[in-house]
Structure 1
Amino acid sequence: MSNRRQFLSFAALGLASSSALADSLTYQAFHHALDSNAQLTAYADHTGDVSGQATVLGRLPADLNGVFYRNGPGRFELGGERYHHWFDGDGFAQRWQIGDGKVSHIGRFVATQKFEEESKAGRFLYPAFGTHIDRKGVKNNDTVNVANTNLLPFNGRVYALWEGGSATEVDPQTLATRGLKTWRSDLKAMPFSAHPKMDPDGGLWNFGTAPGANQLAIYRLNAAGEVTRNAMIEVPHLNMVHDFVVSGRHLIFLIAPYDLTSDADTSFADRMHWNPQRPLRVVVVAKDTLALRQVFELPARSVFHLGNAYEDGACTRLDAVLHEGDALRKTGLPMRGQMRMVADNPASTVQITLDYASGQAREARLFGVSEFPRVMPQVVSARHRKLLVLGASGRELILDSVNLLDTDSGKVDSYAFGAGWQVEEHVLVPRRGARSETDGYVVGVAQDTRRSQSVLTVFDAHNIKAGPMALARLPYRAPVCFHGNFQA
């Protein structure tokens, strides 16, 4: 990859420039708010590795056996200082073992270079996504890799992912850190997104971006973990891209209208300025050539997560959760003691139709305030009719419900946990030999903030409204996770 060096230089520059220092005022503000608001325990700092046996209430299905891997930020405070943004925290990997009617759990920090050096120093040293710290220089992306976004089982191994740098391998059983993964020597330290998509042949697609480089890196790995294809695609005004979808013939990216400034002494988050005068762009890349095929435009919205995509004749259809306005800013506010979640911006799950002949993109609303869309693994990149999302049933817009949408009829099968709960991403797990998209289970984690406990939840995918078949309560609170995957 001839322009890899330029790509990496832009990435390191984007991470090295940051805003106001992590400070004791942020620390004090959060803890003052925490004293009177139990919901904020979801954002509290975590200090060490944990392990324990869950107490199972209800009945775990006899055929549900496997490991639910999860990952998210766990350390937000060090040396009396606190990060400003939720995305800044050091990765805390989690492993939920399910089988024989029992559930066990382990969680441990990913021992990245950053985590190890800062632990030894007793204070933050490096810049983070939304917090300026400039006590030590940044060599490349992996100097500041927090490995905090997803946990991916692949080819017999498990990887902690962060979209700004390399994957970090961890032990599948103990979660002990094994080290950075370089997929190919010329791809060392290249950004490798936290949202890879599996192919039916057992391989996967992934991408990477660098702020300011205006280049999109594409990777195709086979089932053995070898990079078989890769490309760099020029995309003007490219900024933070968190997720993408893969259809039968295309890779599709949604690029929100942020202007990326070159301001010194501001964080990457603060360099991204919302510009509602520009559209939300839908960038379509052809799988066969890895070349840009077409760009569509939609009204300005921000986006984190997409669901699935499939070909429908001469069109492609895909699901996305679109937020009105700048959702990026809202996700950071809990760190300073204010009551906000990702769902704070009015958001809706929509199905987007891309009509290549007319060059027009149309959207149809599927659900209201929502996030974290998932489909059954066997329908990824193919026609699907069921989409799982979290929703917010109350006025405070806290994600507290599990919802399975029928994308054809519009019907929704829902269950709301209610006040005192914060629900994390849930996934669909098929039964062996599943014949439909509801032939299986919905597995996830919810935080019972009143008891300060993390709870594994299991639903019958055919009947969400009946409530959980089983709840597996830990005797402690584990950090909130962003993403994860179930491995049977």
Structure 2
Amino acid sequence: MDGDVRINPYLTGNFAPVRSEDDFTLQVTGELPRELAGALYRNGPNPQFEPRDPNYHWFGGDGMIHGFFVENGAVRYRNRWVRTPKWELEHAAGKSLYGTFGNPMTTDPDAMGKDSGVANTNIVWHAGRLLALEEAHAPFELDPVTLGSKGHAAFGGKVTAHPKTDPVTGELVFFGYADAEMPLSPTVSYGVTGADGILKRRDRFEAPYSSMIHDFMVTSGHVLFPVLPLTGSLQRAMSGLPPFAWEPDKGAYVGVMARDASVDTIRWFSTDACYVFHVMNAWEDGQKLIADVMRYDSAPLFPNADGSRGHNAAAYLVRWTFDLAGDSDTIKEEKLDDLAGEFPRYDERYTFRANRHGWFAAQSVKPGDFRSNAIAHIDLKTGSRTQWEVPMGDAVGEPVFAERSADAPEGDGWLLTVVHRGAEDVSELVVLNALDVAAGPVATARLPCRVPFGFHGNWVAA
């Protein structure tokens, strides 16, 4: 092959899309717990057509939902594209029309100014609705059984991929970034939808600069907005440089606000330049707010502002403390573990409370590689960690917790993760005992095909 030909890494191996929508009954090895009944819904990018953008980014592919339906020791699998307006427009044209992130420099004139949402990042259950989410568009509702597309849900505008459900009120607390008519703006929105699915609040404020704010922190009484220097710039994009890029000189900030207060009251705390894709959990300790996050020294998967290649730093679990009664606006940071990883999860019955148990997809062989090779369990009380590793060439996805019962002790349940078996190029649903991951799978359900690397999933009990 010509040495000058660049192969896009996001279109090869298990990053590459699958082109079919399938329904299978899976072969189960081991014994699925009888208490485990419900569905694991998983979301990830899967371009319908060959991308037109030569610099196609993994985050820009059409959303595809993978459903694993577990009942009476059996597993059924179904995958469907999320039929967003973008997907429908391109399907009718028979080709890709949009640049990555809707970049106007690489978007077909026929699609210019039209909805570019891909609904490819997360999938949540709220108010009796199954919602596919991504960075910069309204949630997209799906049928929980057929995965058929129902259309956008009314949340008053853009919603990013990581809303938080209040376990007491049932409210869905969310935010959106670049939430203005001008693309890549510093405008951020904050919203609340009631347990009934009706929008209760939507406010906007200006961040210190335009940032890709993938996740945020919520406690029982506060919201925290991380504005970290993975910056967005329309001017940069229009000049042919990256729309999003790493600019550490911008500084790193977290805006803190009482949940029922005006956005005018946001107090900005600061820390050294870093990036956070994902939060494990956050809670209050008197006048202090505590947040456990996966912290990078620099943003991975993105270039520098001049277009040069960025550094794929690794993420490590750290604890951020915000002292609301103190005189300093500096964030206190404590490293909790020395194993690189991503996709932190916990027993979500402990949302807004100090959780003892946490899990993440770990990188014990090659830190900073999103193709994680282990599932780790960390005991945040003792600091001890155990892990289950897959053979070289295999890769694990995000571990999703499912409790044994509503009143089971914290962590008593299972982890569900999708594993890609590299040698066979197929995927498996793997079930682990959440408090004994080192023992290996309780059961596996094998697909006759592969599930491309994706982002987030959630368990919905039957």
TM normalised by structure 1 equals: 0.84
Deviations 1:69-112 (A, max 9, x none): 11111116428876621011111111110111111100011111
Give the superposition deviation at 1:243: 0.6
Q: In the alignment, what sits opposite 1:196?
A: 163
Q: Residue 147 of structure 1 contacts residue 162 of structure 1 at CA under 8 Å; is this kept in 2?
A: yes
CA RMSD of aligned residues (A): 2.8
Q: Does 2:423 correspond to 1:476?
A: no
Partner of 1:366: 336
Matching residue of 2:298: 325
User: Structure 1 residue 355 and structure 2 residue 332: aligned?
Assistant: no
Q: Is 2:434 the counterpart of 1:434? A: no
1:45 aligns with 2:17: yes
Contact 2:237 2:243 survives alignment (8 Å): no
Partner of 1:65: 37
Paired amino acid for 2:162? H
What's the CA shift for 1:26?
12
Using the TM superposition, give the Cα deviation of residue 258 of structure 1 relative to its aligned residue in structure 2, in angstroms.
Answer: 3.8
Task: List aligned pairs for 1:109-258, cutoff 5 A.
Answer: 109-129=81-101, 132-136=105-109, 143-183=115-155, 187=156, 190-200=157-167, 201-210=169-178, 211-258=183-230
Aligned to 1:409, which of 354, 377, 382? 382
Is the 1:322–1:349 contact (alpha carbons within 8 Å) kept by the matching residues of 2? yes
The verdict on how the C-alpha distance between 1:275 and 1:82 changes in structure 2, with shifts beyond 3 A counting, is closer
| Residue 298, structure 1, aligned to residue 271, structure 2 | yes
* Shift of residue 274, structure 1, vs aligned partner: 2.1
Deviates more, 1:84-93 or 1:381-390: 381-390
CA distance in 2, matches of 1:268, 1:314: 46
> Among the aligned pairs, what percent are the same residue?
30
- Matched with 1:7 is none
8 Å contact 2:137–2:158 — kept in the other structure?
Answer: yes
User: Does the Cα contact within 8 Å between 1:309 and 1:319 map onto a contact in 2?
Assistant: yes
Task: Report the Cα distance in structure 2 between the residues aligned to 1:225 and 1:216, rounded to whole angstroms.
Answer: 21
Higher mean C-alpha displacement, 256-265 vs 457-466 = 256-265
Say whether 1:287 aligns with 2:264.
Answer: no
Cα distance in 2, alignment partners of residues 307 and 395 from structure 1: 22
Distance 1:76 1:466 in 2: 39
The aligned length equals 444
- Of the three residues 347, 358, 361, the one matched with 1:390 is 361
2:432 equivalent among 459, 471, 479: 459
For 1:231, what is the secondary structure of its paired residue?
strand
Give the CA deviation at 1:348.
1.0
TM-score when normalising by structure 2: 0.89
Give the Cα separation in 2 of the matches to 1:213 and 1:40: 32
Give the residue type in structure 1 aligned to 2:193.
L
Counterparts of 1:484 and 1:443 in 2: how far apart (Å)?
Answer: 9
CA distance in 1 between counterparts of 2:55 and 2:37 reads 38
Determine the C-alpha separation between the residues in 2 that align with 1:79 and 1:301.
30
Mapped partners of 2:53, 2:221: distance in 1:
48
Partner of 1:78: 50
Report the AA paired with residue 322 of structure 2: L
Q: SS where residue 270 of structure 1 aligns?
A: coil
> Structure 2: where are the runs of 5+ without partners?
none
- Secondary structure of the residue aligned to 1:144 is coil
The answer to whether the 8 Å contact 1:77/1:83 transfers is: no
Question: Structure 2 matches for 1:266-277, cutoff 5 A?
Answer: 266=238, 270-277=242-249
Q: How much has 1:311 moved relative to structure 2?
A: 0.4
Cα shift readout 1:359-388 (whole Å, capped 9, x = no counterpart)? 331111122311011111111112212221
Measured in 1, the distance between the counterparts of 2:423 and 2:401 equals 27
Q: Is the 8 A contact 1:250 1:285 kept in 2?
A: yes
Aligned equivalent of 1:381, options 328, 348, 352: 352
Structure 2 CA distance for aligned equivalents of residues 310 and 283 of structure 1: 16
| 8 A Cα contact 2:25 2:77, kept in partner | yes
- The answer to whether the Cα contact below 8 Å between 1:71 and 1:148 also exists between their aligned partners in 2 is yes
Please report how far the alpha carbon of residue 47 of structure 1 lies from its aligned counterpart in structure 2 after TM superposition.
1.1
What is the one-letter code of the residue matched to 1:194?
A
Please tell me whether the aligned partners of residues 69 and 485 of structure 1 are also in contact (alpha carbons under 8 angstroms). Answer: yes
Secondary structure, in 3 states, of the residue corresponding to 2:450?
coil
The 1:419/1:290 distance shift into structure 2, 3 A limit, reads: farther
From the two aligned structures, give the one with the greater helix fraction. 1
State the shift of 1:41 in Å: 2.1
